[in-house]
Chain A
């Protein structure tokens, strides 16, 4: 009978490149930047890594498919290296692979590393997909903002919220992240932005304006994992362990039946319930010290507060505007700036979220350090709300 992942895997080292428009480095250099920091943090050498899981999403503009590009960049010679991809949830997927290998006792030390080089695309925004995951013979093909903007129509219709009130709430989400980004040295965007600028920004996909959408960035992030026993043998004292990793993927219910009303992300709710159970969390609003969620778009973050069972149904607008999720609030969200300001190099994002929670648990978050950090949650979405993936991880201290 399976007993879950709780406390079976410790993170002994992490690294994160500076995210941004890294004209100076290709994927090779970005991977190395994150990898070097992780090795130093773990206090091990490359040869002690028994297996690796690498994540990247877009194989047509930078890394390429299979594990060969990453293994070559990092000179991981003769060991199992696997490339993971689950759209924007790729980073968490890489961690999950490495964690399971260690928990299964198949390997002693494993590496999870994610990267993306979006600024080789040639324009702002995600590279255009041609024949891809979705059947373009019949499926309407919109942009990523369009996929998530529909949540706004669904949410306001279900909860009878005016367009203006919802616009103000989602603007606050972005405003708050920009305030946090100022204190985040590796973040892509580090300037505060006034509410007026956010509210009046050009429209991208109604009602999402320019500041409701995360930009595109280059970056890489890495984690080195092992068992708590091996971690202690390596001299680690304050162990950060994985309490839960859970995924939920759409099978067609949201997009093909009338069981979903368009106002929330079903996969997040499924994954959150399973993750809380795995981690032993019964009161998430009280027990979570911080959260890093998938704010690809401001509306996504807003509905995620309800999908994570932190805000009651229809109350996210109120909680957001009350500052419940601000840096000084009860459950700070995106303390490092989130996707919005830290950036969203797709394959790396899930691991960047883990990086912040890890550093907060170890008291290393500098200006951003929160008091009394016990458990943090990361939430990583791939695809679109109705045809997608939700990946949730919870980290804490070894009991």
Chain B
């Protein structure tokens, strides 16, 4: 039975730090960083992480499809916030998937994204959502700080309406440690780039690509798109040469305005390729990390209509330049700023309460009163308008609903990691309303009446206990 990709989508954070700002900050002790100082690198806002980006990529992929037919959810990342709390379960709740799905978190190396996609294509059945998401940290003044970005990509797999079918694959596993990061540590330790390129990418990666092409029965020159992720320049071209693939087939590394995204990068680059692919294109995608996983895909006639409403290029185009190095450093915990006494808050979560309300709160589901029709969030015991019992409520998801700003202010007093806090009432077209945080705001164009869309974000961090709670926020529609 043929299996392939039905749909895909990606997410890139809006914030882009000018690489020149990074280089300038460290120029006094690392003047060589200037050589990498072109373009911008994406970074997560204080309220984004691998979980939130995974949700956004999945939303872009799924669109307004019926989600009830999904049977599996797999989330690949080396930077999910918990060592023991299934992030894919948080994602499943945010996406309102059914409670019977199989959910899995996969990690361990930058290869995890492609390895997960490969396994899900080869060895699985049923509608599967594969997401890879990464928020890599880097030590200040390291090369990685210049090279790394953040992002996520999601793929819906199945047997029907395939837009790109799997025609070949290969795997290799080899204890070549190009870099490593111990559990609980924030930064990677890299060995010499020249060795990694020669012994790692070229030999191990190149060999795996050749075996995958043989498995697919496709010759190197016939490959239309070659996805080989690496933070180092020139690697994809070198491996293409080893495998006999034309240099023109080498896919964009998304580094001019983005950056390397670890376990998510193969999938992000692949999504970008699929956004522009034509029927019958042959696509090779590779993941690398203690070996390699390779898949060979062929685009079908359905590739054009399967494109997501918002492409990777769209996401790239909506980046906002930031030149304050301190902001990224603060958001990523590299510097510990004085936020004052107002930041002293105990944000303990009652896990009982969180569980009882998870479907409603994480899923962002309002109730429509069966008696008077009022759509309301939150759903308490009685209807807010006519006081009828909530047992008669129909469930109305709000995450994809249209809304606008009713009231707002920019709060400079409240402790907020990215001041000022934009807060106000979101009025949904369907009559629901609630007070929300606004994010991704451009101050001069924000006002009453602005159209909004919902974003899944971190609501609160409990730094004392290491817990995170998530909720939805409202962002202006560009």
Q: Which residues of A come within 8 Å of B, CB atoms?
A: 121-123, 125, 128-131, 135-143, 145-146, 149-154, 157, 203-208, 251-253, 255-259, 261-262, 386
B421 CB–A CB distance under 8 Å: yes
Contact bitstring B407-433, A, C-beta under 8 A = 1, else 0: 111111111000011011101000111
Asked, given contacts A153-B424, A157-B449, A258-B427, whether A143 binds B413 with beta carbons under 8 Å apart, the answer is yes
A contact residues around B361 at 8 Å (CB):
137-138
Contacts of B376 in A (CB 8 A): 252, 256-257
Tally inter-chain residue pairs, CB-CB below 8 A. 133
Whether A252 pairs with B384 at a CB distance below 8 angstroms is yes
Chain B residue nearest to A151 in the complex (CB): B407
Which of the 9-residue segments B268-276, B329-337, B349-357 touches chain A? B349-357
Centre residue among A145, A206, A253, A258 by max chain B CB count within 10 A: A258
Q: Which of B345, B374, B408 contacts A257 (CB 8 A)?
A: B374
- A331 → B minimal CB distance (Å): 28
- Closest A residue to B405 by beta carbon equals A153
Check if B378 is an interface residue, CB within 8 A of chain A: yes
Given contacts A123-B341, A256-B377, A257-B374, contact A152 B460 (CB under 8 A): no
Once A123-B341, A138-B471, A153-B448 are accepted as A-B contacts, the answer to whether A204 and B412 lie under 8 Å apart by CB is yes
| Nearest 7 A/B pairs, CB to CB | A149-B409, A146-B411, A150-B407, A143-B413, A262-B407, A143-B414, A252-B384
Among A142, A257, A261, point to the contact of B423 (Cβ < 8 A): A142
A253 to B414, CA, bound (A): 26
A233–B135 Cα distance when bound, in Å, is 78
Q: Can you report 9 residue pairs joining A to B where beta carbons are below 8 Å apart? A: A137-B361, A139-B434, A142-B421, A146-B411, A149-B409, A150-B423, A203-B412, A206-B412, A262-B425
Give Cα A143 to B385, complex, Å. Answer: 28
B441-478 vs A, CB cutoff 8 Å, 1 = contact: the mask equals: 00000011100000000011000000001011100000
- Bound together, the chains give a CA A259 to CA B427 distance in angstroms of 11
Give chain B nearest CB distance to A100 CB in angstroms. 27
- Contact assessment for A205 and B433 in the assembled complex, using a CB-CB cutoff below 8 Å: no
Are B448 and A137 touching (Cβ within 8 A)? no
Give every chain B residue within 8 A of A207 (Cβ-Cβ). 409
The smallest beta-carbon distance between B233 and chain A, in angstroms, is 43
Q: Which of B378, B435, B448 has the most CB of A within 10 A?
A: B435
CB distance from A377 to the nearest CB of B (A): 27
Q: Is B410 a contact partner of A257 (Cβ separation < 8 A)?
A: no
Task: Taking A123-B341, A153-B407 as given, write out 7 further A-B residue pairs in contact, using a Cβ cutoff of 8 Å, ordered by the A residue number.
Answer: A123-B342, A131-B346, A137-B361, A137-B469, A146-B414, A153-B447, A255-B433
Q: Which of B344-375 contact A (CB under 8 A)?
A: 344-350, 353-354, 357, 361, 374
* A138 pairs with B459, CB closer than 8 A: yes
Evaluate contact between B409 and A205: CB separation under 8 angstroms.
yes
| B434 and A255 form a contact (CB under 8 A) | yes
Q: Compute how far the CA of A344 lies from the CA of B432 in the bound complex, rounded to whole angstroms.
A: 35
Q: Whole-angstrom distance from the CB of A81 to the nearest CB of chain B? A: 30
In the bound complex, what is the Cα–Cα distance between A123 and B342 (angstroms)? 8
Instruction: State whether the Cβ of B380 lies closer than 8 Å to any Cβ in chain A.
Output: yes
> Are A205 and B347 in contact, with the CB atoms below 8 A?
no
In the complex the two chains form, what is the Cα distance from A118 to B56 in whole Å? 43
Q: How large is the interface on B (under 10, 10 to 19, 20 to 34, 35 or more residues)?
A: 35 or more
Does B35 make an interface contact (CB < 8 A)? Answer: no
Which residues on A sit within 8 Å (CB–CB) of B421? 142, 146
Give the residue name and chain of the A residue nearest to B431 (CB).
A258
- CB pair A137–B425 under 8 Å, yes or no, is no
Q: Within 8 Å of chain A (Cβ to Cβ): is B406? A: yes
B435 touches A206 (CB 8 A): no
Residues in B with CB closer than 8 Å to A206 are 409-410, 412, 420
B159 at the interface (CB under 8 A from A): no
Contact A154 B357 (CB under 8 A): no
Q: Does B437 contact A (CB under 8 A)?
A: yes
| B184 touches A (CB below 8 Å) | no
- A140 contacts B342, C-beta separation under 8 Å: no
Q: How many angstroms from the CA of A284 to the CA of B342 in the assembled complex?
A: 42
Task: Report whether A146 and B342 are in contact in the complex, using a CB–CB cutoff of 8 Å.
Answer: no
Contact: B412 with A123, CB < 8 Å?
no
> How far apart sit A137 and B341, CA to CA, in the bound complex (Å)?
22
List residues 160-183 of chain B with CB under 8 A from any CB of chain A. none
Contact: B431 with A128, CB < 8 Å?
A: no
Chain B residues, CB < 8 A from A136: 347, 459-460
- B413 near A204: Cβ-Cβ < 8 Å: yes
Please state if B413 and A146 are interface contacts (CB–CB under 8 Å).
yes
A253 and B384 alpha carbons, distance in the complex (Å)? 6
Q: Can you name the residue of chain B whose Cβ is closest to the Cβ of A155?
A: B407
Given A122-B341, A146-B423, answer yes or no on A255-B435 (Cβ-Cβ < 8 Å).
yes
> In the bound complex, do residue B344 and residue A256 qualify as a contact, i.e. CB atoms below 8 Å apart?
no
- Known contacts A143-B411, A205-B409, A256-B434; A137/B384 CB under 8 A: no
Q: Are B347 and A150 in contact (CB under 8 A)?
A: no
Contact of B425 among A121, A135, A150 (CB under 8 A): A150
A386 x B471 contact (CB < 8 A): no
Q: Contacts A153-B424, A256-B434, A258-B427 known; A146 to B409 CB distance under 8 Å? A: yes
Interface residue? B340 (CB, 8 A): yes
Choice from B348, B377, B425, B427 contacting A386 with Cβ under 8 Å = B425
Q: Is B242 an interface residue (CB 8 A)?
A: no
User: Is the CB of B436 closer than 8 A to any CB of chain A?
Assistant: yes
Chain B residues with CB under 8 A of A386: 425, 435
What residues of chain B lie closer than 8 Å to A122, measured between beta carbons? 341
Cα A206 to Cα B385 with chains together (Å): 31
Distance to closest chain B CB from A132 (angstroms): 10
List of B residues within 8 angstroms of A208 by Cβ: 409
Known: A123-B341, A140-B435, A255-B433. A205 touches B377 (CB 8 A): no
Distance A253 CA – B372 CA, assembled complex (angstroms): 14
Q: Is the CB of A256 within 8 A of B459?
A: no
In the complex, A252 Cα to B386 Cα: how many Å?
12
Q: Which residues of A contact B340 (CB under 8 A)?
A: 123
Q: Is there contact, CB below 8 Å, between A152 and B409?
A: yes
Contact of B409 among A121, A150, A256 (CB under 8 A): A150
* With known contacts A123-B341, A137-B353, A145–B411 Cβ distance under 8 A: yes
Which residues of chain A are within 8 angstroms of B459 by Cβ–Cβ distance? Answer: 136-138
B residues 286-312 in Cβ contact with A at 8 Å: none
In the bound complex, how far is the Cα of B414 from the Cα of A240, in angstroms?
Answer: 42
> How near does chain B come to A205, taking the closest CB pair, in angstroms?
5
Instruction: Looking at the assembled complex, report how far the CB atom of B52 sits from the nearest CB atom of chain A, in whole angstroms.
Output: 15
Chain B residues in 8 Å Cβ range of A135: 378
Q: A256-B384, A257-B385 are in contact. Are A128 and B409 (CB under 8 A)?
A: no
